[in-house]
Amino acid sequence: MKRECLTIIGTAHVSQNSVEEVKNAIYEQNPEVVAIELDIGRYERLMKEQAGIEEDEEISVTNIIKENKVGLFVASGILTYIQSKIGEDVDVKPGSEMIGAIEAANEIGAKIALIDRDINITLQRALNEMSLWEKLKFMMSAVFSLFASDDDLKDIEDLKNQDTLDEVMEYFKEASPSAYKVLVKERDAYLANSILNIPEDHVIAVVGAGHKEGMEKYLDNPEKIPPIEDLTSIKKKSGIPWLKIILAAIPISFVVIFFLAFLNGINIENNLLEFVLIGGGTAFIGSILSGSKIQSAIVGFIVAPLTIIHPLLAAGWFSGLTEAKYRKVRRSDIAKLSKINSFKDLWNNNIFRILLVVIGTNLGVSIATLVILPSRVFIPLFLKIFGM
């Protein structure tokens, strides 16, 4: 690829003007290659949608939980929802500018290069880098974005203006430096590296407007691009997991109190029974109040006493897995998220219902662990042990 023969078009991903700009540039310049900001997975999904092929296969919630991909699934779902919702409000499907680029490339006989990093790698690296506080802020921002006004949505095209774009990117950097690094800076480098590896000379690259400036800096200084392995590997967080240690200390202290009471010859049968009934009962109530099947609530009741003393287990996941057996999650449930206009629509969505059961059950167990059990079981036992 010759640097002087490269044109980078920065687009707004849900803008009809961007679609026309991309197609016109390709027709006028007649490039050898059109490079687009897609990975193979997103490219195939776009092509199937364009061909009218609707995929509605079942999503295995069990595998998502077993493979520890819950955060990845939720983050992906939120981003899909936001982009789809904005696209519907401005009457432009997400990815339309990429479809336009592909169609124009096919019409002039140009090759198509997929230059983006796998979305799953990007999201997983972002989640691994983000602190708990950054994740909470991300969730809150996502929720608030669902209530964006029509006036806000009319300004989509303004995102391509440099002053507006700089302001948005600066806000993103301040809100979540870790996510900004992975979602923007790393992908700038990855996209630039992909373009440099294109053997043809004349290339048009179609990317989000937020990547254009960073890509150009890397293309002008390719020696600054990190090794590709550093941009694609999935590393676990380093450091001391203080939150896990604190959460583990609570149930461990419960076990210690029971053990000390036993050693001191204190009758703990009634306390153990109360522990089981309160722990299981709050899980059952939390599950039922969240709208679960009775089977899911029963599972929550059974496992709650065990999960309370095991810091790596949560009763909600067991109730959620049971609920998932009765409420099959399909890809259409994700697509329907962008069409939700009322609580009734939300209530009828299987993804929402399963997550609600998980949250409701865990909330019940948390109330038992932090409020009811200490006052009803553990503090009285503690006082007996030390003769108070």
Tokens 């490339």 belong to 105
Strand partners, 358: none
At 9, list the tokens: 């078009």
Q: 3-state DSSP call for residue 207?
A: strand
Helix axes 16-29, 96-108, angle to 10 degrees: 20
- CA–CA distance, 334 with 331 (Å, rounded to integer): 5
Q: 3-state DSSP call for residue 230?
A: helix
| Helix, strand, coil share of the chain (percent; to 5) | 70, 5, 25
Q: Which residues contact 43 (CB under 8 A, 6 or more apart)?
A: 36, 114
Q: How many CB atoms lie within 10 A of CB 262?
A: 13
pLDDT of the residue at 243: 65
Q: How many CB atoms lie within 10 A of CB 47?
A: 13
At 329, list the tokens: 């999650």
Q: Which residues contact 240 (CB under 8 A, 6 or more apart)?
A: none
pLDDT of the residue at 72: 58
- CA–CA distance, 57 with 149 (Å, rounded to integer): 34
Q: 3-state DSSP call for residue 93?
A: coil
Q: Which DSSP category does 369 fall into?
A: I
User: pLDDT 10s per residue in the chain (388 long)?
Assistant: 788 999 999 987 656 788 899 999 999 999 999 999 999 988 988 888 788 776 656 666 666 666 556 655 666 665 665 555 544 544 446 678 899 999 999 999 999 999 999 988 888 888 788 777 777 776 666 556 555 554 544 454 454 554 444 455 555 677 678 878 888 899 999 999 999 999 999 999 999 888 999 999 999 999 999 999 999 998 766 666 666 677 677 778 878 888 888 888 888 888 889 999 999 999 999 999 999 999 999 999 999 998 888 767 889 989 999 998 888 877 777 666 656 666 677 788 888 888 889 889 999 999 998 889 888 888 888 888 877 6
Cα-based distances in Å from 157 to 18, 81, 149, 154, 279: 8, 20, 15, 8, 53
Q: Which residues contact 27 (CB under 8 A, 6 or more apart)?
A: 104, 107, 108
Q: Is 151 exposed, middle or buried (0-12, 13-18, 19+ CB in 10 A)?
A: exposed
What is the maximal distance between C-alpha atoms in the chain?
Answer: 89
At 71, list the tokens: 């955060």
CA 280 to chain centroid, in Å, comes to: 30
The H or E element that residue 7 is part of is: strand 6-11
Q: How many CB atoms lie within 10 A of CB 270?
A: 9
Pairs from 50-59 (Cβ < 8 Å, separation ≥ 24): 50/99, 54/332, 55/331, 56/330, 56/331, 56/332, 57/330, 57/331, 58/328, 58/329, 58/330, 59/329, 59/330, 59/331, 59/333, 59/334
CA within 13 Å, CB half, 122: 22
- For the chain, how big is the Rg over CA atoms in Å? 26
With beta carbons less than 8 A apart as the criterion, state whether 273 and 359 touch: no
